[in-house]
Amino acid sequence: MKSAWKQMGSFGTRSFGLFAVMVMLLMPAVASAEPSPIQLKVGAIGVDSLSLLAVGDTKNQSNLWLVQWKSSIHEHEKRKLQAIGSTVLRYIPNNTLLVRLLGEGSKAKLARFDFVERVIAYGQGLNVEPGLTGFGIFSANENILVTVVVYDGADTQPILSLFKAELGRVGKNIFAGRITRGDVSRLAAMEGVLWVERYIPVKSFHLKRNELLTEGDEPEAAPTEITGYESGTKILNVEKAYAAGVDGTGQFIAYADTGLDKGSKTDIHLDFIGNFHTGRALGLGGTSWGDPHSHGTHVAGSIAGNGANSGGAIRGTAYRAKLVVQGMWSDIFNNLFPPGADTLFNNAYQDGARIHSNSWGREANGRYDTMARQVDAYMFENQDFLAIFAAGNSGKDLNHDGIIDEGSLSSPGSAKNSLTVGSSKNYLIAGGIQRTMQELRGGEKNWGVEPIASSRLSDHENGLAAFSSRGPAADGRVKPDVVAPGTNIVAARSRNSKAGEGWGAFNDHYLYMGGTSMSTPLVAGAMGLIRQHILAVTGAGKLSAALLKAAVVNSAFDLYPGQFGERSRGQEHPTTRPNNHQGYGRVDVDAMVDSGRTYTFVDREIGLATGESEDVAKLQVSAGQVIRVTLAYTDAAGAALASKALVNDLDLKVVNAAGEQFFPNHGSTADRTNNVEQVDYKAQADTTLSIRVKGHNIPMGRSGKQPYAIVVSVE
């Protein structure tokens, strides 16, 4: 493979009188441009402040204010607000900061700056997720689970006293508990409260056997011969990478799950001898990182199992990487109970991991919630840390049109910065679960229309798993980012006496399992291989998560039109990549490592401020060549109270010698939604391509700037 590396940047007369009067009456409205809406989840605050709740006149008990700029927010203007004692808490589109300022006359102090359009009181009525406060006379005492977010230094005792049962801290300044529906408004009105939303418990994103098979049905017996497809790695194209010595050596990959095997460093499954690095018990009340379930051990095997129990035939993608194990099983809740992302990720980071695999989440229909925000916040502060999350298993065809419905994405797979993974199909036609989709439990309702109905879970390597959650995110962002095999995956089996058998035993050492839970660790291992490779070819001391994300997205294989072929209804895929079914495609390791493509990697550690731009590259390309340009950046955390998650907005511009501009992600204009942008270009004639990145709006940069990465491939 050829590679070019760009160094990281520091980093009528009678009626005239009446007409004139009308004009004068209208002039103030004409002269003053209408402010852009402030996009909150409860609704958009327009020029009349929603008339709704008379916001701006409500009692501002917490001294919280929405301060909207007349145009883009600049760093020196933010400093002026801070100079009068205000604290910036969140960014909300469009051009609005949520700030806290104490004392009399705070609103007037904020409004006096010439760059400020308006100042609106923020509090009760704006700070509760829609649907939580409405209740009838008989439901006021209904108990519900909520998450409450407070600002730094808030007195949490009176806030938490409203909980009937407290689940505890679930992130920095974030608490969860049980409360009566009638008390939600009281909670929202308390000083210190920024946001109140539903609390949804997390779950592992593997499909349990009893979710697919009816009582009495059993998985098929494993065949006696190994086909080579069992682990799922074959479909990810890893053989050229392995031949080149790219096998995960030197990479530390963390995963948070139900644990690993018996939770012992010395008495450990053979497939992890030499690959285990550290183990921690992080679940609520957890005392062991052992795996009482089997899910975590299977995940570990797909990341970095060395295949010792199978003569190397069944092993993880990065089979020589080191595993950082984080057991999150809670015996108290008999479920996964993760700590906040700050704790979870910090422990892994301290143990050397820069890739973090998570096969769990909340069924949240694509919403950007506090958990997604936590992921984005940590990654923004730690730009070299890549969190990977499963998209979820909520894919269904409930409208019975033969196409899986969109909008079922989980959280925190809905985070902007995470690499979110959906499930494609493995190719195993014997062993595990081999029913047609309509024969599975709930199959007639969920997947009972052709061509899905008669397909099977692992019958075509270019197919998508029907159960895999589809995007987009609730604000329209493309998700998932990529897909990987997640059906009838064979990987390590926990030796814990309580562990289950998944989709059936392969043998004493391995199990079949399926779900986006199984796709995600395979991708985590693949990211270990890609990271190892790019570090070697560039000689860089470190790599940003944005560069790794851009690399895997750039090299992914477009599954369009998919297993069922191209049809007028857009069967399986409505468009070529990207789309909300496969994202940018199926992970393809060899396409990055040894494909005959020439790659350019650009990793900008400092990045761009509002209005700044950089000419990243000029390429001389020949007729027939395919050029793929991918921009990715780890964005500042959005606000869970906002209806749009993107904060900092960079633009990718690709222009040929004739002056034609090519917009990313199937668009005809600049992308104002995603922090991953890609242009696919096939040269019709010899030409020069100019690649530029521009800072369209950077309200919450790192010292006013947004770091970014670019990957360009030519073949």
pLDDT at 195: 97
Provide the percentage of residues in the chain whose pLDDT is more than 70: 93
> Which of 103-107, 332-336, 452-456, 591-595 is the most confident on average?
452-456
Domains of the chain are: 34-121 (3.30.70), 143-198 (3.30.70.80), 207-389+408-420+478-555 (3.40.50.200), 596-714 (2.60.120.380)
Task: Report pLDDT digits (tens) over 669-683.
Answer: 999 999 999 999 999
State the residue for tokens 């400093």: 79
Q: What rounded mean pLDDT belongs to the chain?
A: 92
State the residue for tokens 């997720």: 129
| Residue, of 65 and 17, whose pLDDT is higher | 65
Q: Label residue 511 exposed, middle or buried (CB < 10 Å: 0-12, 13-18, 19+).
A: buried
User: Is pLDDT at 20 greater than 90 in this prediction?
Assistant: no
Alpha-carbon distance values, 110 to 37, 114, 124, 191, 276 (Å): 19, 10, 20, 20, 54
Pairing type for strands 598-608 and 2-6 reads parallel
pLDDT at 14: 29
pLDDT at 258: 96
Number of alpha helices (DSSP H) and beta strands (DSSP E) in the chain: 14, 32
Question: Using CA atoms, how far apart are residues 560 and 585, in angstroms rounded to an integer?
Answer: 8
- Peptide bond before 480: cis, by omega within 30 degrees of 0? yes
Element (H, E) at 245: none
Q: How many residues does the structure list for the chain?
A: 715
User: Is pLDDT at 3 greater than 50 in this prediction?
Assistant: no
Average pLDDT over residues 246-270: 97
Average pLDDT over residues 620-645: 97
Angle 74-75-78 from CA coordinates, rounded to 5°: 95
Task: Report pLDDT digits (tens) over 601-630.
Answer: 999 999 999 999 999 999 999 999 999 999
pLDDT at 60: 55
pLDDT at 61: 59
Task: Report pLDDT digits (tens) over 222-244.
Answer: 999 999 999 999 999 999 999 99
pLDDT at 137: 66
Q: Across-strand partners of 690?
A: 618, 655
Element (H, E) at 407: none
Contact present, 336 and 257 (Cβ < 8 Å): yes
pLDDT band at 289 (very low <50, low <70, confident <90, very high): very high
pLDDT at 215: 86
Write out the DSSP string of 126-137: TSB-TTSS---T
pLDDT at 43: 92
Question: Using CA atoms, how far apart are residues 588 and 549, in angstroms rounded to an integer?
Answer: 13
State the residue for tokens 């919280």: 64
Strand locations in 393-480, DSSP E? 419-424
Write out the DSSP string of 28-80: HHHHSPPPPPEEETTEEE-TTTTSGGGTTSS--TT-EEEEEESS---HHHHHH
User: Is pLDDT at 11 greater than 70 in this prediction?
Assistant: no
pLDDT at 51: 41
Question: Using CA atoms, how far apart are residues 333 and 268, in angstroms rounded to an integer?
Answer: 26
pLDDT at 398: 98
Average pLDDT over residues 650-668: 95
State the residue for tokens 């053989």: 239
Question: Using CA atoms, how far apart are residues 217 and 562, in angstroms rounded to an integer?
Answer: 30
Angle 297-320-599 from CA coordinates, rounded to 5°: 115
Of 354, 414, 434, the residue nearest 387 (C-alpha): 354
| Residue, of 55 and 176, whose pLDDT is higher | 176
User: Is pLDDT at 32 greater than 90 in this prediction?
Assistant: no
Amino acid at residue number 560: Y
Query: Would you call 630 helix, strand, or coil by DSSP?
Result: strand
pLDDT band at 57 (very low <50, low <70, confident <90, very high): very low
Element (H, E) at 187: helix 184-189
Query: Would you call 166 helix, strand, or coil by DSSP?
Result: strand
User: Is pLDDT at 123 greater than 90 in this prediction?
Assistant: no
Question: Using CA atoms, how far apart are residues 361 and 430, in angstroms rounded to an integer?
Answer: 30
List, in order, residues 6 or more apart from 23 with CB less than 8 Å away: none
pLDDT band at 150 (very low <50, low <70, confident <90, very high): very high
| Residue, of 8 and 683, whose pLDDT is higher | 683
User: Is pLDDT at 546 greater than 90 in this prediction?
Assistant: yes
pLDDT band at 596 (very low <50, low <70, confident <90, very high): confident
Instruction: Evaluate the CA torsion angle 281, 286, 287, 289 in order and state its sign.
Output: negative
pLDDT at 70: 96
C-beta atoms surrounding 25 within 10 Å:
9
Amino acid at residue number 43: G
pLDDT at 138: 66
Pairing type for strands 2-6 and 43-45 reads unpaired
Average pLDDT over residues 543-551: 98
pLDDT at 260: 97
User: Is pLDDT at 491 greater than 60 in this prediction?
Assistant: yes
Residue 34: alpha-carbon gap to chain centroid: 34
pLDDT at 47: 56
Q: List the 661-662 sheet strands across, edge first.
A: 613-621, 687-697, 649-655, 661-662
Helices (H), 312-369: 341-350
pLDDT band at 255 (very low <50, low <70, confident <90, very high): very high
